[in-house]
Amino acid sequence: MTKSISDVKAIIKRAAEQAGFDQSGIAPATDSPELDHFPSWIAAGHAGEMKYLESRNDSGDLKRASLANVAPWARSVIVCAINYNTDHPYSTQVHDSDRGWISRYAWSREDYHDSVLRRLKQVEAALRQEVSAELQASLITRSYVDTGPIVERVFAKYSGVGWVGKNTLLINQKKGSWLFLGVILTSLELEPDLPAPDRCGSCTRCIDACPTDAILAPYQLDSNRCISYLTIEKRGAIPEELREGMGRHIFGCDICQDVCPWNRKAPNSAAPEFQARPGLVNPALDWLAEMSVEDFREAFRGSPIRRTKRSGLRRNAAIAMGNSGERQFLPLLDRLTEDEDEAVAESARWAKVRMLDSSPNR
């Protein structure tokens, strides 16, 4: 039986629900005002060392500035979102000075890239299976989970899944912002959903709460100052003027989401793969700082934390110890100042000076 385009849209929505996604929507594969700002954001250097954001096509155009630059055949973007929130306190509610903070999304038992893509492929398969033979002959689809040259949150907005908040993250009125996104580009011209209205209003809590002032203005982020960027993407030494603001963050940062009113009643995820691995919620700083190559490989097998590499994780732990004020870490920092990894050693030297300078007994 030949399916109409409206039938295909209903099939997609049903397949997304069956795959375990909490929200789904269809956006047109057209340019938007948000993407118009992307070239100037890159030109201002706000992407930091994330050179992949600057990738260009054969004509020299920024791929992420327009879907036409990378997939001119695309007519629609299917956006699927799944909640990853778990029943654990927010970082703003935890004050154990001898422990660090790993971003909520990285606690999971399986790397979200794999788990979300697996679900996304189910939706893509359902789409391909249900369209008519005539449409199948010319149908093109591509699935991505943070791996394609696409600004997913912009298309998520125009698919109705949520709005882009002042912290530049996607927010859903019922689910909050603890959402993983997956997109399917398709050559089918599907009826788009209505864009989600911006419900941030006059609230500036995310901007006010950022310890490193990374949110320059509503909807404007300088990655160079963002704790998530510094602890994950930044290689080598972290600028000294930003270290104090990092607090005890080891991998990523949740502060701008923790203070968001739309996350006050955010539901918990039912997906088993997003439940927290033992030891990753508020982990001990000395355990992280002294982690061997084998320990790192074993503890974070299949985890997004591997992205920061052992060097970055230990560097971050040294800085966090300096910010902790816990003098019990001084002997460990002493040892780390002689570490063979210069980024770790230099961070430990800074941490030792900071701790001694801020000590009430000094």
3-state SS class at 249 = strand
At 179, which helix (H) or strand (E)? strand 179-186
CA distances from 59 to 30, 42, 55, 69, 70 (A): 19, 17, 11, 9, 11
φ, ψ for residue 64 (rounded to 5)? -80, -5
At 315, which helix (H) or strand (E)? helix 309-324
How many H-runs (helices) and E-runs (strands) does the chain carry?
15, 10
- Of 244, 298, 276, 221, give the one whose Cα is nearest residue 102: 276
Distance in angstroms (rounded) separating the CA atoms of residues 301 and 85: 21
DSSP H helices in 221-299 = 227-228, 240-243, 255-258, 285-289, 293-299
At 185, which helix (H) or strand (E)? strand 179-186
Q: Which of 31, 98, 146, 198 is catalytic?
A: 146
- Of 306, 185, 207, give the one whose Cα is nearest residue 255: 207
Q: Is 254 an annotated catalytic residue?
A: no
- The distance from CA 98 to its chain's CA centroid, rounded to whole angstroms, is 25
Which active-site residues does the annotation give? 146
